[in-house]
Amino acid sequence: MTGSPRVVVADDQALVRAGFRMILASDGIEVVAEAVNGTEAVEAVRRTRPDVVLMDIRMPELDGLEATRRILTGAPGEPRVLMLTTFDLDQYVYAALEAGASGFLLKDVTPEQLVAAVRLVRSGDALLAPAITRRLVERFARPGLAATSTHRDLSALTPRELEVLSLVARGHTNTELAAQLHLSEATVKTHVARILGKLGARDRVQAVIAAYETGLVRIGNDQNCP
């Protein structure tokens, strides 16, 4: 995907919006609209068709979770959504990931992390901090939920695809996967795409949820999560 990402920033705090706009602009990333609540965010996305939305979870009138649900309705050209939160264990984060968000950021991220996150999710990847992902799943996932249909999906994966999924669930990027499995990044991307297709997952985040909820990756046995 060529060109710089086009971003909508949705947050009820003017200083946060201004700070994010300044940081992104310094790296050539255009903020095409700002929103102070979820209703404005949905309207801004429909109007500007951005690549990425930085979405605060807690906003007046319409919160970021419901706004994300309304934005990610399966319409063509839908953006990637990065949730913004002050708490790394916010109870709404897991629900946001289930709704199709591509990850989340704490509001105290460094400028470099913010820019990298926007570019990462715009490229089709997901922002999965291993330790936070593990704690989210440990606290909010419900093992056995819809187990029959999900296990059927997992049974369709090849041994190599199961290996790739388990590493994705531990937070590895495509570059790290390629190095660990001695494969090209193009081959890794092909494996990931096939996994998503077989699981019926929108992106890596939903695949990770399936990996934990089905027991492919278990809390407490993940040596890569601090």
Minimal CA–CA distance to 203: which of 97, 132, 117, 118?
97
Question: In terms of domains, do 27 and 59 share one?
Answer: yes
Q: Write out pLDDT tens, residues 123-155.
A: 777 666 555 566 656 655 555 444 434 444 688
Asked if residue 137 belongs to a domain, the reply is: no
The C-alpha R_g of the chain, in whole angstroms, comes to: 17
Residue-range definition of the domain harbouring residue 78? 6-127
Asked if residue 135 belongs to a domain, the reply is: no
**Do 223 and 216 touch, CB atoms closer than 8 A?**
no
Question: In terms of domains, do 116 and 175 share one?
Answer: no
Q: What is the CATH number of the domain that holds 66?
A: 3.40.50.2300
Question: In terms of domains, do 18 and 113 share one?
Answer: yes
Share of the chain above pLDDT 70, in %: 77
Q: Write out pLDDT tens, residues 25-78.
A: 999 999 999 999 999 999 999 999 999 999 998 898 998 989 998 998 855 567
Looking at residue 12, its pLDDT comes to: 94
**Do 130 and 170 touch, CB atoms closer than 8 A?**
yes
Last residue of a domain, one of 83, 98, 127: 127
Report which residue type is found at 165.
Answer: L
Residues 104, 225: Cα–Cα separation, whole Å: 17
Asked if residue 220 belongs to a domain, the reply is: no
Minimal CA–CA distance to 17: which of 48, 53, 71?
53
Question: In terms of domains, do 45 and 104 share one?
Answer: yes
Last residue of a domain, one of 127, 158, 182: 127
Looking at residue 153, its pLDDT comes to: 65
Report which residue type is found at 178.
Answer: A
Full-prediction pTM beyond 0.85?
no
Question: In terms of domains, do 99 and 150 share one?
Answer: no
Last residue of a domain, one of 74, 101, 127: 127
Query: What is the number of domains present in the chain?
Result: 2
Residues 78, 142: Cα–Cα separation, whole Å: 28
